[in-house]
Structure 1
Amino acid sequence: MPATDYQGSSASVSNFGRSILGTRRADQFHSMEPSHEAASQELELEAFQRQVADRFHDLSAAASEDLLSLPWIRKLLDSFLCCQEEFRMILFNNEGFLNRPPMDRWISEYFERSVKALDVCNAIRDGIERMRQWQKQLEIVLCALDNQRSLGEGHFRRAKKALIDLAIGMLDEKESNSAVAHRNRSFGRNNAQRDHRSLGHFRSLSWSVSRSWSAARQLQAIGNNLVAPKTNETMATNGLVVAVFTMSYVLLFVMWALVAAIPCQDRGLQTHFYMSRQFVWAVPVLSLHERILEESKKRERRNACGLLKEIHRIEICARHMNELADSVQFPLTEEKEGDVKQRVEELRQVVEAVKDGLDPLERQVREVFHRIVRSRTEGLDSFGRGNHHD
């Protein structure tokens, strides 16, 4: 459903209280025993909705040249981590409700979705590693053509070979995936453990995504049966299921956006996003979904291995450099040397952007992975405490 169907609802964050939690407020007003605890809980839940809405409004305000860039993806993950932390506190403050129906089913389903998201995190980590391989090829091109006293055929041959390797790495997805498969490991493992002898061990670990693993199918599994809570469920849980639904949607969207941007196995963007305009975060989320889909439909992006802006810049720079390498004749004219310097400078800027962005991005993906694990562990502990109290 297009985001434009929901225009107008974004302006009123307070609508959420009236539309979903409003009946609870009315009930409390008519109750003989006013509940300070219930009012505090309601404020906490509304604050969570506002935070999600504000963060996604901020993300959706990005200009087209910034959307899906490395800094934007990092901002998206930062938003996820902040929402996850507030959600964790809501669960902690309301652990007595977690094992009561229908809350027990909602929270169990959320934890199941979050476990599925761990595989996406590992696949994205492989995609980041794959981009590092491209970065190395680009650095070879820079080394061959930059700061040379006199550029000769040998320099261009070396650059051309690196560009061919880069093209193979970017286009042949299956080949590239098998090349980085041995690096697919738990985020808890040290980077030093990349020895080829460990290949069999790493392939056998439960967190490794297999060669038949599909990002598209995983996203479908995360979003399966994700529908807004019914009014009676909202009432029965004092609105807590709404927070679980919201966090589930944030999880789904963030994983979908990562798969859209970063190379990974069997990427697919067919995930449907359906939600009611009564959720104040619906407009920015649907707007971002629509903009990312539009980007994927552009002719020059249709066959891309990832929609990340820096990947597009790598493709453009590599094409320009290839065309230049094919057209040079020796000895180089002054004009041609000027063209080479210009292309080398463009390439240097791309390499620096990728080099500066990938390490912080990987750290954030690792943090998302660990935070999901911790949240699930704490949630299951809360289940146990709730059962014990009952």
Structure 2
Amino acid sequence: MSRAHDINRSFFPFGNPFRMKSPRGTKITSQLLLVSQAFEASLEERLKKLIPESKDEILSLSWMTFAMRALSESYDDIKTLVTELELPVNDWDEKWIDVYFDISVKLLDICNVFSSELSRMSQGHLLLQCALHNLGSSSSEQYGRACSSLDGWKQHIGSGNPRIEKCRNILDGLLGSLDLPKVKKSAKGKVLMQAMYGVKVLTVFVCSVFAAVFSGSTKNMLDLDVADIYSWASSFKSLQDVVNEEIRGRFSSGRFTVMNELESVDSSVKELYPIIQGVVDPVKMESHTKIVEELGKSTEKLSQGLDLLAKEVDSFFQVVLAGRDALLSSLRSGATVIHSNMGVNRNAQIVS
């Protein structure tokens, strides 16, 4: 898969399978068109809501939680779409099903990676709590303990997670899912594939942002070039531009972390070091007390944010898992598929 220095390559070199004039026998009816437009309108609205009003909102745990929730809601929309299309499993191309299972495995894998990193960051909460407890005293001995706890927290957060290294390969696989076999002889299949393209674009974007934040590196960042034929394309481009620009700016500034809540805790820790190490007279309790209070607030906000995001990642994991179970059940019974995470074939270029 390409990196930042590679030449842009098209994931769709053979033309547009969703052109307005479909081949004979696959014409999209007005009813199907309305279904497709309703889906795209919902996706566009979701993308607009993800565009932050302020750059300060980007890379906050609350924004990341909202982004992960948007993924779950989008896959729920696909579930509704498949029900409306009444597209039975026996109408699915064998390749669709194979690709579906392959993609869903990748999504489950990346959810597990994200969950492990969120758990690792949450484990640092105890060290911060120990530091806050010892900072409640003016004893030099307890100050020393507080300093040790804060040092331990910084080392823990900065130590990295080996599992994050898997993200690049998983993202490469998800990118490949944007370039699948053409849909033939099925108007309903075309509507489903077109809808799934939008969901897959959102999925790759959100997962790449998470991977970049958790890895502390731009190597997992991706820039998708979406064709303008979609009503939601402009909103997606605006979202991608503002988020990716901010991420790159933060990485280039050499910050300890690019995540807002972690940055807030680190800022308080830096202010406290001169006091707890005796560089500044600890008798100046007013300033000391205020900084400790700020650290306490930042610590609690970080802990709560990590918990909420972890729950959303788990919810998305369950959505994907339920989709696999539903397809397996449908394959056994020959019933209508009630959920899908399948990828799609579309015009897309990638620079990473």
Structure 1 pair 84–257 and aligned structure 2 pair: CA distance change class (3 A): same
2 CA distance for matches of 1:160 and 1:63? 34
2 CA distance for matches of 1:356 and 1:227? 39
Q: Which residue identity is paired with 1:360?
A: L
1 CA distance for matches of 2:201 and 2:334? 26
2:61 and 2:261 in contact (8 A); partners too? yes
Structure 1 pair 226–323 and aligned structure 2 pair: CA distance change class (3 A): farther
2:107 pairs with 1:117: yes
Structure 1 pair 233–281 and aligned structure 2 pair: CA distance change class (3 A): farther
May I ask how many residue pairs the two structures share in their alignment? 319
2:327 pairs with 1:375: no
1 CA distance for matches of 2:240 and 2:232? 12
Aligned match of 1:76: 67
User: Higher relative contact order at CA 8 Å, sep ≥6: structure 1 or structure 2?
Assistant: 2
Structure 1 pair 230–119 and aligned structure 2 pair: CA distance change class (3 A): closer
2:25 and 2:185 in contact (8 A); partners too? no
User: What is the SS of the residue equivalent to 1:338?
Assistant: helix
2:167 and 2:211 in contact (8 A); partners too? yes
Question: For structure 1, which segment, 113-122 or 274-283, has the greater mean C-alpha deviation from structure 2 after superposition?
Answer: 274-283
1:95 and 1:383 in contact (8 A); partners too? no
1:155 offset after TM fit, Å? 2.2
1 CA distance for matches of 2:135 and 2:142? 6
Structure 1 pair 284–316 and aligned structure 2 pair: CA distance change class (3 A): farther
Aligned match of 1:354: 302
1:288 offset after TM fit, Å? 2.8
1:77 and 1:364 in contact (8 A); partners too? yes
The correspondence of residues 1-390 of structure 1 with structure 2, limited to 5 A, is 22-23=20-21, 38-96=29-87, 98-100=89-91, 104-106=94-96, 108-146=98-136, 148=137, 151-173=138-160, 177=161, 214-224=166-176, 226-227=178-179, 237-262=189-214, 268-298=219-249, 307-328=258-279, 332-333=282-283, 336-386=284-334
Query: What do the CA deviations read for 1:60-98 (whole angstroms, capped 9, x no partner)?
Result: 143211122111111112211111111012223435355
2 CA distance for matches of 1:381 and 1:267? 40
2 CA distance for matches of 1:361 and 1:346? 22
User: What is the SS of the residue equivalent to 1:130?
Assistant: helix
1:233 offset after TM fit, Å? 7.7
Tell me the TM-score normalised to structure 1 length: 0.71
User: What is the SS of the residue equivalent to 1:96?
Assistant: coil
2 CA distance for matches of 1:281 and 1:228? 21
Structure 1 pair 127–134 and aligned structure 2 pair: CA distance change class (3 A): same
Structure 1 pair 234–351 and aligned structure 2 pair: CA distance change class (3 A): farther
Structure 1 pair 124–298 and aligned structure 2 pair: CA distance change class (3 A): same
1:371 offset after TM fit, Å? 0.6
Q: Which runs of 5+ in 1 are unaligned?
A: 1-18, 179-210
2 CA distance for matches of 1:216 and 1:111? 19
1 CA distance for matches of 2:248 and 2:86? 45
2:212 and 2:221 in contact (8 A); partners too? no
Structure 1 pair 329–66 and aligned structure 2 pair: CA distance change class (3 A): closer
Structure 1 pair 233–251 and aligned structure 2 pair: CA distance change class (3 A): farther
Query: What do the CA deviations read for 1:140-183 (whole angstroms, capped 9, x no partner)?
Result: 2211113x3xx12112101110111012112222xxx37xxxxx
Aligned match of 2:14: none
Query: What do the CA deviations read for 1:285-327 (whole angstroms, capped 9, x no partner)?
Result: 3333333332333356666686321122222222222243335
Structure 1 pair 248–106 and aligned structure 2 pair: CA distance change class (3 A): farther
1:367 offset after TM fit, Å? 1.0
Identity %: 21
Structure 1 pair 39–169 and aligned structure 2 pair: CA distance change class (3 A): same
Aligned match of 2:341: none
1:125 offset after TM fit, Å? 1.0
2 CA distance for matches of 1:233 and 1:59? 36
Q: Which residue identity is paired with 2:308?
A: P
1 CA distance for matches of 2:185 and 2:243? 33
Q: Which runs of 5+ in 2 are unaligned?
A: 1-16, 337-352
Q: Which residue identity is paired with 1:124?
A: F
1:239 offset after TM fit, Å? 2.2
